[in-house]
Amino acid sequence: MATPASTTPPVTQNPDIRYLGRILGDVIRSYGGDRLYRQTEYIRSASVDRARGIHGADVVDTGLEALSLDDTLSFVRGFMLFSMLANLAEDRQGVAADPDADVESAIERLASHGIDRDAVLALLNNALIVPVLTAHPTEVRRKSMIDHKNRIADLMLLKDAGRSETDDGEDLDEAIARQIALLWQTRPLRRQKLFVQDEIDNVLTYFQDVFLPVLPALYARWERVLGVRPPSFLRVGNWIGGDRDGNPFVQAPQLRSALARGCEAAVGYYLDALHALGAELSLSTELAHVPDGVLALAEASGDTSPSRQDEPYRRAISGIYARLAATYRTMVGHEPPRPSRLKGEPYAQPGDLRRDLVTVAQGLAGEGDGALATGGALGRLIRAVETFGFHLATLDMRQNSDVHERVVTELLKVAGVQDDYAALDEYARIALLRRELASNRPLGTRFSEYSEETASELAIVQAAADAHRIYGPGCISHYIISKAESVSDLLEVNLLLKEAGLWRTGKGDAPAQAAIMAVPLFETIADLEAAPSIMAAYFGLPEIAGVVRERGHQEVMIGYSDSNKDGGYMTSTWSLYQASKALAPVFERAGTAMQLFHGRGGAVGRGGGSSFAAIQAQPKGTVQGRIRITEQGEVIAAKFGTRDVAMTNLEAMTSATLLASLEPQGISDRDAARFTAAMDELSKSAFSAYRDLVYGTEGFKEFFRQLTPIQEISGLKIGSRPASRTKSTRIEDLRAIPWVFSWSQARVMLPGWYGMGLAFEAFRDKALLADMAQCWSFLQSALANLEMVLAKSDLGIAAHYLPLVEDQAAGGAIFDRIRQGWELTHDGLLAATGQSRLLERNPKLDESIRLRLPYIEPLNLLQVELMKRHRGGEDDPRIKEGIELSINAIATALRNSG
Ligand code: PGA
């Protein structure tokens, strides 16, 4: 275990933390009263002293015991706000940011390997980099809290600029104090359950406030760096309203609404930008040369206002505005907030709008040096139209393969084609599905009755087909199949798409057409191992080969969380790496580009950690400029909460993709072979240690359910979807998110490390291990995450949860195994990385974590007490509220908990 001296919390070097912490103290005193302030301060300093080894273990408990229930709630809120403000202060200092993670540095680094800008540009011409936002329920904070926090961040920027007043003349310190007072008085917990519509609204605010303005600004920056205008390869994707795996509340109406709202936001944004441009482009024919293209647009606009007769740019913009307003009306279903005075034909597709804007830009470029055209508001608008189209973000569909199987079974039965499809073996299924895909006749008819599930699935593919007609094919291009484990899982989806005309049978030499790509999500260790052979068999079907060749690429999604829950941290990480590597030649043989979609969350047990390092650690040849990655829950606010932070993170993702695609492999083939063999061995022993504990230990399920706040977490109102797919309490059936989340709360964080200790111990060649840890980016990244998790976990605190376990003897034995595993992992990690304590080489993160720990400990202790009372049958609603607040506060302090 780490020695007490090494965990001494530092006196923070971060002046913002001291500044904001002091204001928070004042706010607590003014609004919560002197007594609460003194109690909070007492517990805080006792906890800090305790962590420094100054007092005995009982001091913190004494302070906590003196708290009444009401005070407990206020106290937890105070600690939560402190953590929130500390996060803010750290984000400003770039504690979590990766150094040199910008495109310019990546290009320089590539140049040092002899890879020039042309190679970078060639890659970008076929690149696609997409963070995909999902509604995965791990964000515990309400949006109102996050908004207050962001306002404080904006005010702090004014402070940085040396200002003492806000733009409205308010004293800056007072304005900050006022925001913190608002935070203090804002209820942190949701009273109402979230609906899908809330999630749709929530994600839209990120598009409106951040992505719509930020992406064009980033492209403008990259254009300067590259010296030419790069294509629009960076997009933002969305799952909210399309991901119905285990969420019965996502149906056709939600899909339609998500797309309509997205269109409203995108086109509304362009209308505003055009309006502003109309005011700006006051060039007169008397003073400027105006080319024919612009004059033609002006003529066609129908703008006959006498005051604008010599202002063709303004007239052209009015005409474009009128057409775009008509587009808005047709697609969104009502007038835009600022309707056009003129009549115009709706644009059929974003490309047509772009063409008109480019005509205007070229007109301006003819004047002077062209700076007016590429930069400025018009340049940004053109970029936004290219990037966001009329649909804002590609919305993915997702459903579980079990559901597809049931629906296809019913469709085939009702149509009289096959009585029991589900009873067929894989060969027979494939043969039947291929026969059906070769025929244009749909299976479903309006005149048949279907189960609710089948009707709902048919309605959603129909909604997708309608959306393609309204917004264009870019609005939905992927259909993700959860728990994919066979070729028939993919074909079933193609068959369902065919029901709505989204799969068209080939004719003669013309291949079949799939307007939406069926994408398998491989998410258990066994499925990851089988992935290359499944894809090879899929590509081996002539109709699929035709579709894939025509499209030029195929996506495969790989799931970090479920593979982790299935096989433990190391084995999951290694299987993902191996699967990606083995898939690359399969794609090469099929003559199509591979696009991997990484399904990861914020916590290490779900693939979290630095994306910059993770992308670079991908096996060579598996990125090639194309990558999609899920971003969810608290990660969305952390990475994209403000424009500055979003720019930094999108830069990091892009530069990591460039490096992963183009930088030569850092290790020799010989080392690669040695390291692979070693990892196979490590992974094998980590796997059996993990499986043995989690799936092979009598009473483990009960231990987990009683030790951690899993039951309490399931009651949190943080997402629209249920915590489990089924009613079963088996660990296999529990969703990965609550699994990881509850282990974090109890500070065990088992999914982030368990299994590694025994693997380290069993691995004999320690010198080889040290060598690997030093020069192999895969292992560096995996160990860096492991290290962070170990630093945040604390089995001393976890032991306080042990009394919650009913069978003390069995529970104690399991806990001892976990504790030994932790120690072995800790020692093995230090030995492999040559450090004398955790995070020795990462002082920023070290300080950040050690500063938080004393704030988290009292929260854990309170959580245990409240859980005891709650489970003991006390029904005071403040107890449940206290537990939920503590979950909220611990998650905030740990940052990547879910
Ligand atoms: P899923 O996500 O359960 O929706 O597949 C898992 C995760 O993100 O952890």
DSSP string, 270-313: HHHHHHHHHHH----TTTS---HHHHHHHHHTT---GGGTT-HH
Kindly state if the Cβ of 737 falls inside 6 Å of ligand 1.
yes
CB 384 within 8 A of CB 216: yes
Question: For 583, how many CA atoms within 13 A lie in the half-sphere containing its CB?
Answer: 32
Atom of ligand 1 nearest to the CA of 630: 8
CB 603 within 8 A of CB 752: yes
- pLDDT value at residue 1: 36
Tell me the two tokens of residue 326: 């008509």
Tell me the two tokens of residue 22: 């002091």
Q: How many CB atoms lie within 10 A of CB 414?
A: 16
Q: Which residues of the chain have pLDDT under 70?
A: 1-13, 54-62, 95-97, 99, 367-374, 897-898
Q: How many CB atoms lie within 10 A of CB 413?
A: 15
- pLDDT value at residue 850: 86
Tell me the two tokens of residue 314: 């303004």
Domain 398-629+651-662 CATH class label? alpha beta
Where in 440-539 does DSSP place strands (E)?
478-482, 503-504, 513-514, 517-522
Kindly state if the Cβ of 267 falls inside 6 Å of ligand 1.
no
Q: In angstroms, rounded to a whole number, what is the distance separating the alpha carbons of residues 323 and 304?
A: 16
Is 696 buried (19+), middle (13-18) or exposed (0-12) by CB count in 10 A? exposed
Q: In angstroms, rounded to a whole number, what is the distance separating the alpha carbons of residues 898 and 238?
A: 19
Best mutation site among 527, 572, 718, 735 for ligand 1 pocket (most ligand atoms within 8 Å of CB): 735
CA 649–ligand 1 middle distance (angstroms): 22
What does each C-alpha distance from 352 to 382, 384, 472 come to in angstroms?
Answer: 11, 14, 12
Residues 6+ apart with CB under 8 A from 161: none
CA 65–ligand 1 middle distance (angstroms): 38
Indicate which residue of 391, 404, 565, 826 is catalytic: 565
Atom of ligand 1 nearest to the CA of 482: 5
CB 152 within 8 A of CB 258: no
CA 174–ligand 1 middle distance (angstroms): 42
At 628, which helix (H) or strand (E)?
Answer: strand 626-632
Q: In angstroms, rounded to a whole number, what is the distance separating the alpha carbons of residues 524 and 687?
A: 13
* Atom 4, ligand 1: residue with shortest CA distance: 136
- Phi first, then psi, for residue 520 (nearest 5°) are -75, 140
Atom of ligand 1 nearest to the CA of 523: 5
Residue located via tokens 């083939």: 669
- pLDDT value at residue 7: 45
- pLDDT value at residue 97: 65
Relative to beta strand 503-504, strand 513-514 is antiparallel
CB 274 within 8 A of CB 321: yes
Kindly state if the Cβ of 604 falls inside 6 Å of ligand 1.
no
CA 880–ligand 1 middle distance (angstroms): 26
Best mutation site among 132, 133, 134, 136 for ligand 1 pocket (most ligand atoms within 8 Å of CB): 136
Q: In angstroms, rounded to a whole number, what is the distance separating the alpha carbons of residues 283 and 792?
A: 60
How far separated are the first and last CA of the chain, in Å rounded? 25
- Phi first, then psi, for residue 471 (nearest 5°) are -100, -5
**Any catalytic annotation for residue 565?**
yes
Kindly state if the Cβ of 561 falls inside 6 Å of ligand 1.
yes
Taking each helix axis from N to C terminus, what angle separates 487-499 and 525-539, rounded to the nearest 10 degrees? 60
- pLDDT value at residue 688: 98
Tell me the two tokens of residue 119: 């190679």
Kindly state if the Cβ of 606 falls inside 6 Å of ligand 1.
yes
What does each C-alpha distance from 177 to 156, 229, 889 come to in angstroms?
Answer: 11, 44, 21
CB 409 within 8 A of CB 398: no
Which has the closest alpha carbon to 392: 266, 477, 270? 266
Q: Where are the domains of the chain?
A: 5-12+671-894, 127-142+187-388, 398-629+651-662
Residues 6+ apart with CB under 8 A from 364: 281, 283, 313, 370, 372, 373, 378
Which has the closest alpha carbon to 704: 819, 822, 811? 811
- pLDDT value at residue 565: 96
Q: How many CB atoms lie within 10 A of CB 719?
A: 21
Kindly state if the Cβ of 153 falls inside 6 Å of ligand 1.
no
CA 136–ligand 1 middle distance (angstroms): 7
Greatest pairwise CA separation for the chain in angstroms: 92
Q: Note the residue count of the chain.
A: 898
**Any catalytic annotation for residue 868?**
no
Atom of ligand 1 nearest to the CA of 601: 8
CB 240 within 8 A of CB 134: yes
Angle value at C-alpha 80, between 75 and 85, nearest 5 degrees = 125
Kindly state if the Cβ of 633 falls inside 6 Å of ligand 1.
no
